[in-house]
Structure 1
Amino acid sequence: MASIFDKDELQQHISKQFDQELVDIHSRILAMGGLVEEQVQLGVKSLIEADAELAERVVADDVKINSLEVSIDEECTQILARRQPTARDLRLVMAVIKTITDLERIGDEAKRIAYHAMDLSRQFPKRNQFTDLEHLATHVGVMLHDALDAFARMDVEQAFRVVQDDKVANAEYESILRQQITYMMEDPRSIPVCLDIMWSARSLERIGDRACNICEYVIYYAMGKDIRHISLDQVQKDLKGE
């Protein structure tokens, strides 16, 4: 794994152990991100295929994500207490603490999707009811992957692209809601299935939001700028130095 620290920055640290601690938390959060990605993929697969056994596995594996969040958070707390980092190092530790919280919540959303998959496995939904949901899941999956990649390389431009992509995910989510409401009006018997699909789409939309949060932390680390309450146009101007 390529380090996010260049040689000059590493040489500024008095303690080589401190350097290793920073690299270690960076590596561990990427491992956590990989596990979260897999959970989302398997959760969606269990939903589309009405696979209750796979859904149960997703639910059971959520404890692994929770455990990683606790251990990484503890490591960050120890770094703050022992090293008292400043400037970029402090921003990195704070970005990690915030990111693991979002990753844990993405894991929770994957678990919620798995619960809906268990419910749908007993209702025999029609395969074509999942077409738009699959599109949303694919889009959000790419957003999450790109957000983690942006974090791995602290790539501000890629982080910004992910934030922009959230508009498309939101539009897809709203389209699914309208579609499912239409189905329920046409056939009240479809209400239980439609509700599970709608709640699953809601979880996917939230995963997209969490991916955007991770990208905001990347921008915060790299630029020292909090963009949570700034318009995308203004952020883009800042990135271009305008």
Structure 2
Amino acid sequence: MKKVFLLVGFLVFIAGCDESSLGTQNSVKSREMLAASDGIKLSYSFVGAGSNAVILLHQLNSGKSAYAGFQEHLREDGFSSIAIDFRGHGDSDGEWQKFTEKDFKNMILDAEAAKAFLEGKGKKVVGIAGASIGANIAGQMTVKYGIKAVLLSPGLNYRGIDFGGTIPKLKDALIVVSNEDAYSVETAEKAKEENANIKFLFLENRGHGTDMLDEELEEEMAGFFEERK
């Protein structure tokens, strides 16, 4: 009987070790990394679906998980997507609290790394969505690469990343702001005056950046990208 007890105990111990090992593997897998052109390591979440793909950029002091629901929505609509942790955020290298203006401006390298990653998987990057400081960077990306952009709560200037100068160059862009977000509304109104090519969505009491996301807005965003497929 003692031998049986010891054997059962040993098997339980082994099972516990296997479960712990699997948990560790899953944890590592969820922190996959890619590298920006300046060597900064970036954590990302990639959801593969169709050949058309979208890049997702979060706001300051946030992370890739802010787009988890939207990534699933995009998958259901046949889009692949990548959401990254900007440098200084989440599991990526650095601490944004210690960033200089140059460090913030270099965030565009993170977006470009995400684009290169998708293209390396044979995907066609048709769109980019960004929130707050991520919206300003997404604006630069759409001008540089001619991809559609959804800009959630952009600002005329966030941490040295200019959006005012980007406004006249925008073509395929949808700007989304909420009425109580004064700085973003000011930015949207300026864009409306200066560029008739931009589409706008003015919401009420919905907050800032990815805080505005819900099923209805996600459907609107996916539909905007769908026009380009």
Same fold (TM over 0.5): no
Say which structure is richer in helix.
1
TM superposition score category, shorter chain reference: under 0.3
Task: Select the structure with the greater relative contact order (CA < 8 A; seq sep ≥ 6).
Answer: 1
TM-score using structure 2 length: 0.28
TM-score using structure 1 length: 0.27
Say which structure is richer in strand.
2
